[in-house]
């Protein structure tokens, strides 16, 4: 028999692996662009607070601006139901394309908004509407991207592949932070206030368009396409048959979301407003630490595939319980070295959680309702406790008079999640449901 007669069968595994790799790369790039669009608001809070919420007291302006940051999360449970239904009935690809299209348009809209000076109260109203649309999109993104990547992963590499979801979230936030740092360094304060802040939002339509193009070329996951029957009403099945894992997902999300937004978003503003560190310095500290996070997450995913999920998650919670107070205490001195070292330590423990997180979430639910059930279990606590973490932290400082008050919120979230983890079985070495 000629040698080329057997070559096609030998190349099938390679083609399958190439297809998987292409799908993962496209999914990751789309997720990076999605979260860049969502994150830029958080890094321009000091500017937005002056332009849209002028007040005699800077702290009041910050509270109002952070409340609108949190408003973006209010719609995430709604987005989880809407896009979860689409993802579980019509496919992951369809839902993820709709998600990034909506995010691109709403982010672009923020860049076109009039400010309070030119439009009065209409300006913050329009800002809230744009953030609501961003939140609707965000509600379908996290679970959709996690499901997509984990369902494409080999059985023994679910955390390795799934960790790229958190890598891409971090990379999106890193792009947002880097953009803010560069604009802050390159522009005069008056130029940043006049037009510079609009640049990253207007770019949203470009990065979103690239992400949409990539997603339109995706194949749906093998796990979804091989289903013999799709759930008729995924939300009903998720909240009845799978209610317990939905509640567990909510419990393990608490530490994940509070730590993420407190350390990677809020701490930059805390250093510049509460500690009085120069804004540019705080931004560069946050940007470098985000870079460390992005590098660490895939490594932690690989480790999780070897040792399991629970050791990583428990270690992260314990790290935050024991170290958050000392980190904030030393950073409050205004020392750049202490602020960087402390934030880097917290980022390391956050990466432990992020590396194992997407896999363990997906392993809680069967394929037929995974998108919906995971979206609901994840997005409700994110909406309540994560999106409003900067607002709550800022309010705690104002209410107590102590710039260390946010520590107690972060630690409390870690304690609740640590308790929840005792009810979670190890899923790393079992088949995907």
**Chain segment 288-344, per-residue pLDDT in tens:** 998 999 999 999 999 999 999 999 999 999 999 999 999 999 999 999 999 999 999
- Please choose, from the candidates 392, 387, 358, the residue with its C-alpha nearest in 3D space to the C-alpha of residue 72: 387
Confidence of residue 424 (pLDDT cuts 50, 70, 90): very high
Confidence of residue 11 (pLDDT cuts 50, 70, 90): very low
pLDDT of residue 57: 65
Per-residue pLDDT for 9 more than 50?
Answer: no
What would the two tokens of residue 51 be?
A: 């332009």
Tell me the C-alpha distance between 91 and 266, whole Å. Answer: 35
Q: What is the DSSP string of 20-37?
A: HHHHHHHHHHHHHHHHHH
Structure letter (DSSP) for residue 221: P
Termini Cα distance of the chain: 42
Could you tell me where the DSSP H helices lie in 153-196? 158-186, 189-191
Q: CA separation (Å) from 397 to 82, 224, 332, 400?
A: 36, 47, 13, 5
The residue-averaged pLDDT of 165-193 equals 88
Angle in degrees, CA 304, 310, 312, rounded to 5: 55
| Contact predicate 145/165, CB 8 Å | yes
Burial 388-404 (b: 16+ CB within 10 A, else e): bbbbbbbbbbeeeeebb
Q: CA separation (Å) from 331 to 104, 144, 403?
A: 36, 36, 11
Q: Give, for 264, the enclosing helix (H) or strand (E).
A: none
pLDDT of residue 10: 38
What would the two tokens of residue 358 be?
A: 């997407």
Calculate the average pLDDT of the chain: 87
**Site of tokens 């940007």:** 287
Percentage above 70 pLDDT, the chain: 95
| Contacts of 61 by beta carbon, 8 Å cutoff, 6+ apart | 49, 50, 53, 54, 55
pLDDT of residue 2: 41
Write the pLDDT tens digit of every residue in 200-211.
889 888 878 888
Look at the chain and count its residues. Answer: 433
- Please choose, from the candidates 385, 264, 361, 235, the residue with its C-alpha nearest in 3D space to the C-alpha of residue 304: 361
Per-residue pLDDT for 392 more than 90?
Answer: no
Phi, psi of 120 (to 5 degrees): 65, -145
pLDDT of residue 15: 54
Domains recognised in the chain with CATH numbers: 20-215+232-421 (1.20.1250.20)
Confidence of residue 373 (pLDDT cuts 50, 70, 90): very high
Tell me the C-alpha distance between 139 and 135, whole Å. Answer: 6
Among 64-68, 387-391, 404-408, top mean pLDDT goes to 404-408
**Site of tokens 């934030």:** 343
| Contacts of 114 by beta carbon, 8 Å cutoff, 6+ apart | 122, 123, 126
Among 17-31, 61-75, 206-220, 364-378, top mean pLDDT goes to 364-378
């Amino acid at each position: 028999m000629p040698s080329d007669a057997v070559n096609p069968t030998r190349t099938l595994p390679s083609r399958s692996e190439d297809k998987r790799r292409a799908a993962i790369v496209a999914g990751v790039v789309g997720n990076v662009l999605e979260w860049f669009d969502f994150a830029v608001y958080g890094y321009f809070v000091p500017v937005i607070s002056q332009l849209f919420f002028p007040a005699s007291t800077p702290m009041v302006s910050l509270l109002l601006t952070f409340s609108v940051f949190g408003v973006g999360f209010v719609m995430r449970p709604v987005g989880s139901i809407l896009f979860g239904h689409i993802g579980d009935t019509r496919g992951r690809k369809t839902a993820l394309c709709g998600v990034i299209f909506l995010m691109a348009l709403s982010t672009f809209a923020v860049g076109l908004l009039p400010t309070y000076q030119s439009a009065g109260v209409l300006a913050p109203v329009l800002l809230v509407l744009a953030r609501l649309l961003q939140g609707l999109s965000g509600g379908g993104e996290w679970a959709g991207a996690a499901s997509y990547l984990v369902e494409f992963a080999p059985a023994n590499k679910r955390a390795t592949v799934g960790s790229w979801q958190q890598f891409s979230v971090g990379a999106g936030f890193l792009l947002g932070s880097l953009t803010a740092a560069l604009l802050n360094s390159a522009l005069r304060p008056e130029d940043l206030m006049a037009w510079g802040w609009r640049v990253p939002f207007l770019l949203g339509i470009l990065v979103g368009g690239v992400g949409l193009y990539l997603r339109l070329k995706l194949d749906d996951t093998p796990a979804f396409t091989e289903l013999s029957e799709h759930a008729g009403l995924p939300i009903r099945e998720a909240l009845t048959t799978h209610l317990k894992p939905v509640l567990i997902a909510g419990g393990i999300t608490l530490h994940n979301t509070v730590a993420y937004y407190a350390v990677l978003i809020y701490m930059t503003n805390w250093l510049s407003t509460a500690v009085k560190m120069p804004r540019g310095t705080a931004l560069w500290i946050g940007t470098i630490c985000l870079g460390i996070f992005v590098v660490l997450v895939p490594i932690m995913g690989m480790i999780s595939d070897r040792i399991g999920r629970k050791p990583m998650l428990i270690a992260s919670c314990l790290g935050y319980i024991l170290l958050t107070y000392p980190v904030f205490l030393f950073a409050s001195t205004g020392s750049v070295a202490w602020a960087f070292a402390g934030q880097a330590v917290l980022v390391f423990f956050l990466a432990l959680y992020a590396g194992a997180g997407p896999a363990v979430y997906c392993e809680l639910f069967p394929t037929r309702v995974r998108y919906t059930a995971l979206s609901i279990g994840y997005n409700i606590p994110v909406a309540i406790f994560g999106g409003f973490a900067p607002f709550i932290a800022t309010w705690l400082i104002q209410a107590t008079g102590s710039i260390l008050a946010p520590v107690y919120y972060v630690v409390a979230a870690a304690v609740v999640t640590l308790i929840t983890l005792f009810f979670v079985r190890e899923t790393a070495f079992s088949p995907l449901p």
